[in-house]
Amino acid sequence: MPSLDHRVPPPALAAVLAACIWGLSHVLPGVDVPTSARVALTVVIAFTGLSFGIAGTLAFRKARTTVNPLRPERASSLVLTGVYRISRNPMYVGMALALLSWAVYLASPLALLGPALFIAYITRFQIKPEEQALLAKFGRPYEQYMARVRRWI
């Protein structure tokens, strides 16, 4: 089963996109949103993202399976409970929401490209190869899980 060694680690991609979002926010004028509303929305989105990410990581740790997204073949078990009943990829949902919260905080419509690019890249180059590796390893149980639970949310 091939590993994903040649892929960009998702947290590194998110960090690069966060820097790009900041840069893009200076290209065009931002949206005039009251600071209190913008900060409140930022906090809600960031908290939700952090909750998804932490819940996903803790569930993997509890199941004693790898959290390394570049080595899906090292998965020792399927995690189907907790936040994994809502999303097959809660850690990626968490990163996407973190990027969205950053874009909201910067109040830049152009910065919304960051989360959209993250979702598109991660789906194509990370999630789909992971799914193939997990299907090869776990077969029908993973296929049934994929039919029950959405890829994102």
Q: What is the pTM of this model?
A: 0.93
Residue 123: both structure tokens together: 């789906």
Least confident of 23-37, 75-89, 131-145: 23-37
Domain total in the chain: 1
* Residue 116 resides in a domain: yes
Say how far apart CA 11 and CA 13 lie, in whole Å. Answer: 5
Confidence of residue 72 (pLDDT cuts 50, 70, 90): confident
Q: Is 66 helix (H, G, I), strand (E, B) or coil?
A: coil
Are 101 and 45 in contact, with CB atoms under 8 Å apart? yes
* Residue 28 resides in a domain: no
| pLDDT on residue 27 | 87
* Residue 128 resides in a domain: yes
Kindly report the number of other CB atoms within 10 A of residue 143's CB atom.
13
* Conformational region of residue 139, where left means phi above 0, alpha means psi within -120 to 50, and beta covers everything else: left
| pLDDT on residue 29 | 83
* Residue 25 resides in a domain: no
| pLDDT on residue 69 | 85
Domain enclosing residue 52, as ranges = 10-17+34-148
Say how far apart CA 90 and CA 115 lie, in whole Å. Answer: 15
* Residue 110 resides in a domain: yes
Q: What is the pLDDT of residues 107-128, one digit of tens each?
A: 999 999 999 999 999 999 999 9
